Structure 1
Amino acid sequence: MYYPIKQAVDLELGQDPDKNSFLYKNPPPPSVFFPCFPIDSLSLSLSLSLSLSLCEEQARVTPKMPTNLELPDCHLLKPPILITPSSPTPHHALSLSNLDDQKFLRFSIKYLYLFRKSVPSESLKASLAKALVDYYPLAGRLRSAGNTDSCSGGDDDQRLEVDCNGEGAVFAEASMDITVEEFLGLSCWPNRSWRKLLYKVEAHSFLGVPPLVVQVTNLRCGGMILCTAISHCLCDGIGTSQFLHAWAHLSATPSAPLPVLPFHCRHVLRPQSPVHANPAHPAYTRSAPSRNDKTAALPADVHRYLQSQPLVPVSVTFTTSLILRLKRRCVPSLKCTTFEALAAHTWRSWARSLADHSSSSSSPLTPLHAVKLLFSVNVRDRLDPKLPRGYYGNGFVLGCAPAAVRDLVGNNLASAVKLVQAAKSRVDGDYARSTVETLEDKAARTDLSASLVISQWSNLGLEDVDFGEGKAAFMGPLTSDVYCLFLPVAEEPHAVRVLVSMPECVAEKFEFHMKGFVEREEKNGNGNAYGGEGDGLCCEDV
């Protein structure tokens, strides 16, 4: 008789199959079921070895979600203060580039660092004051430049600039009755209770929020949580990492000069004059999509659907070995980077879960819908001339890979990787300049209607920030959103944690698709299950 591995192991151990297990209550599709073996000593030994090694790795990288994710109360020790530059700084208006001034970026990037040993707050404040001498725009305030585009009105369409007035960054100190280890047990699932770890500045609009807000929260065990909110209009991921390293450097070695000095001016990204007429940019839209073209894939509004649903964070960690197993599914026909393989895999899993009509009667995708993958590409070295060293403004553009759901899901992983590679290869200096010129029109908006947006934090050096008492035991975002993040993993330099918020009704399905390739690989007995042929996922499967 033949049994799936899990049942075979239960029978050999003299146990009944676990009827409370997730797999028993939610059996996976036949194509991803555990491999079956005859019950004999040799096959059982092999089955037991494969099953246990798989379960151990998955348990290690994706721990079980605790029943209570709420953090205890956070107590402010004193009213927040403003940290001003320790020396006089230039007072002027800093114009932002078109890449900085996108509506898509009018928010703050919120980082959370968990350190096992706290750094004295006076040291943090003194080093921050020094860092703000060089990074003085972060001590200023955003304001409207008063240049409203003639083709559209309203405050939202006004260009922004930084009033470099030295007003200062917000700095708050707090305490929380929790330990580092206790927080690590909750760290995979950001939730609303985490927001108490960052002081909220009451403001009528985004312009009223200072470009830099910091809160240091001391923990019961002597550790600390450091949260920062840095305006995305001033810095991209590379720029924020550069600033945080500068601040940490001055905290750890106060008398040492900065290894990299910031470059402030944004004129290097001005559009050509006169602005050239560009064809439609794939990552942007100026109006609602047309439904007149009957031959094109149907448009969808997944973004609106996601915003209307209760969302839960899904966190899946890919260790070095899992990443290699994922990449092997594309060889020998195709070589790819970690980002290309993981982005393609995440995109397909996202589309499959949202197009699965068994999860919801109102699924936003069908096989005929068109979807896009948007991902940030650093263009500092792709422009001619290159952006100056130390440029910390937004120096990225969005790569765009389009596909119909039926093609994305119906073809194998290698096909999706090729779409990502093609999108990356299109991002050259001309593409970057085209983006800058497209954004000269303030009616241009990032096309989020049916797009998965991926931002890669895992190669920015964010996890290496050290204020003098060692690197962080954990770093990640303060909140989870529908925008997908590829995050670094502390003490595992080549691992990547994928974090994205999904509708509650499809979250388990998405997580299952993200992990499912391991079971399929075990079933096929090798790491190249999808290398050449399709993976058997037809339109009927979604």
Structure 2
Amino acid sequence: MASRLMNSLKDKNDELHPKKISFSLHSRVIELSGIDQIAQRVYTSILFFYAGHEPVLEASQLLKGSLSQAGRFREKINGELEIVCNDEGASFFEAWVDCGFDRFLPGFECSPDFNILGPPLDASTDITSIPLLLAQIIHFECGHVCLGVRLHHQVCDGCSASQFLSPWARLARRSIEMASNDGDSKEEMASNDGDSKVDVKVHHDRSLLRANNPPSPTNEHPEYQTHKRELPTSRPPCVSKIFSFTPSSIDDLRRQASSKCWSKSLPI
């Protein structure tokens, strides 16, 4: 079954979506903090599966069109990375599979085939030429859809991934609703436009986390002193496992988290 998908992926639509903009905002550089620099230079993959009852072709066009202003990594003289906002765009792939989802992944069990559902990525390519974001939509014969997203870990942890993916989905969903309700009045559409707004204002000024150069600590911190130890010569075997969360279990987790941590700008 994996070979069937691979054959389909040969016909995929691989597009970069550049959109040159003259504003100075899109030619500036975003530096990475020291915390970002020590993160692994890897891509985090996320797969989303949807039942096939939505206008997915319209959705794919909207998702694709919103990726035009992504930048690129640039390596500094000291080997550290920074982000150049050059509007080079992100990669978007679209593929069709000539089998149903249930046949491809029977029982939704762990399978190596999950790996090929994400957008293709050549790890041997120079990091400065790879988009920070890659997305792929796969259409199954049964109508189900898989959206695969790869985000670079040095610019996107779990929280920032959520801050990006959730507004991205809301904006696309709102655009579809507006397109399907052409007969509605502008006043009515505007009154329901709350879901299309981004809840969190992104703050890209990493200079707030910049370390002093040279370092100027005011106190000693023995708790952070570590002793070098020999690293294992081989890694333990990797085990794949699926954890299922029902709506009720997610609600329970939210209640437990909200009782201990709550932010006015980031409600759980």
> What TM-score does the superposition give when structure 2 sets the normalisation length?
0.70
Equivalent in the alignment of 2:235: 306
1:412-491 residue pairs with structure 2 within 5 A? none
Preserved CA contact (<8 Å) 2:73 2:81: yes
Equivalent in the alignment of 2:221: 279
What whole-Å deviation, never above 9, does each CA across 1:393-430 have from its counterpart, x for those lacking one?
xxxxxxxxxxxxxxxxxxxxxxxxxxxxxxxxxxxxxx
Equivalent in the alignment of 2:191: none
Equivalent in the alignment of 2:18: 84
Q: Relative to structure 1, is the Cα distance of residues 160 and 251 closer, same or farther in structure 2, using a 3 angstrom cutoff?
A: same
Preserved CA contact (<8 Å) 2:21 2:87: no
What whole-Å deviation, never above 9, does each CA across 1:179-204 have from its counterpart, x for those lacking one?
3444564534142x333222324343
What whole-Å deviation, never above 9, does each CA across 1:79-108 have from its counterpart, x for those lacking one?
400123596661111111111111x33111
Equivalent in the alignment of 2:205: 265
Equivalent in the alignment of 1:194: 114
Uncovered stretches (5+) of structure 1, i.e. residues with no partner: 1-68, 149-157, 290-299, 323-336, 339-377, 391-458, 461-542
Q: What is the DSSP-based 3-state SS (H/G/I as helix, E as strand, rest coil) of the residue aligned with 1:214? A: strand
Aligned letter for 1:199?
P
1:224 and 2:145 are equivalent in the alignment = yes
Aligned letter for 1:305?
S
What whole-Å deviation, never above 9, does each CA across 1:326-366 have from its counterpart, x for those lacking one?
xxxxxxxxxxx69xxxxxxxxxxxxxxxxxxxxxxxxxxxx
RMSD: 3.8
Equivalent in the alignment of 1:114: 49
Aligned letter for 2:199?
P
CA distance in 1 between partners of 2:22 and 2:71 (Å): 13
Correspondence for 1:288 among 225, 228, 248: 228
CA distance in 2 between partners of 1:259 and 1:71 (Å): 42
1:73 and 2:73 are equivalent in the alignment = no
CA distance in 1 between partners of 2:150 and 2:170 (Å): 19
CA distance in 2 between partners of 1:281 and 1:210 (Å): 38
Aligned letter for 1:144?
E
Preserved CA contact (<8 Å) 1:199 1:214: yes
Preserved CA contact (<8 Å) 2:100 2:140: yes
Q: Relative to structure 1, is the Cα distance of residues 71 and 115 closer, same or farther in structure 2, using a 3 angstrom cutoff?
A: farther
Higher Cα Rg, which structure: 1
CA distance in 1 between partners of 2:202 and 2:3 (Å): 37
Equivalent in the alignment of 1:439: none
Equivalent in the alignment of 2:35: 99
Correspondence for 1:160 among 55, 64, 81: 81
Q: Relative to structure 1, is the Cα distance of residues 85 and 281 closer, same or farther in structure 2, using a 3 angstrom cutoff?
A: farther
The number of residue pairs the alignment matches comes to 233
Correspondence for 2:156 among 213, 222, 235: 235
CA distance in 1 between partners of 2:234 and 2:107 (Å): 28
Preserved CA contact (<8 Å) 1:173 1:215: yes
Equivalent in the alignment of 2:75: 144
Deviation, structure 1 residue 167: 0.5
Q: Which has the higher strand share?
A: 1
Q: Relative to structure 1, is the Cα distance of residues 190 and 142 closer, same or farther in structure 2, using a 3 angstrom cutoff?
A: farther
CA distance in 2 between partners of 1:247 and 1:316 (Å): 25
CA distance in 1 between partners of 2:87 and 2:16 (Å): 10
Deviation, structure 1 residue 269: 1.6
Preserved CA contact (<8 Å) 1:85 1:129: no
CA distance in 2 between partners of 1:85 and 1:258 (Å): 22
Equivalent in the alignment of 1:123: 59
Preserved CA contact (<8 Å) 2:95 2:138: yes
Q: What is the DSSP-based 3-state SS (H/G/I as helix, E as strand, rest coil) of the residue aligned with 1:161? A: strand
CA distance in 2 between partners of 1:225 and 1:244 (Å): 15
CA distance in 1 between partners of 2:29 and 2:201 (Å): 20
Q: What is the DSSP-based 3-state SS (H/G/I as helix, E as strand, rest coil) of the residue aligned with 1:220? A: coil
CA distance in 1 between partners of 2:132 and 2:110 (Å): 26
Deviation, structure 1 residue 78: 3.8
Preserved CA contact (<8 Å) 1:114 1:180: no
CA distance in 1 between partners of 2:231 and 2:109 (Å): 28
CA distance in 1 between partners of 2:19 and 2:109 (Å): 35
Aligned letter for 1:80?
D
The structure 1 segments of at least 4 consecutive aligned residues displaced by more than 6 Å after TM superposition are 318-322
Q: Relative to structure 1, is the Cα distance of residues 175 and 167 closer, same or farther in structure 2, using a 3 angstrom cutoff?
A: same
CA distance in 2 between partners of 1:99 and 1:190 (Å): 33
Preserved CA contact (<8 Å) 1:211 1:231: yes
Equivalent in the alignment of 2:132: 211
Q: What is the DSSP-based 3-state SS (H/G/I as helix, E as strand, rest coil) of the residue aligned with 1:84? A: coil
Deviation, structure 1 residue 165: 0.5
Aligned letter for 1:92?
R
Q: Relative to structure 1, is the Cα distance of residues 247 and 269 closer, same or farther in structure 2, using a 3 angstrom cutoff?
A: same
Preserved CA contact (<8 Å) 1:86 1:129: no
CA distance in 2 between partners of 1:181 and 1:321 (Å): 25
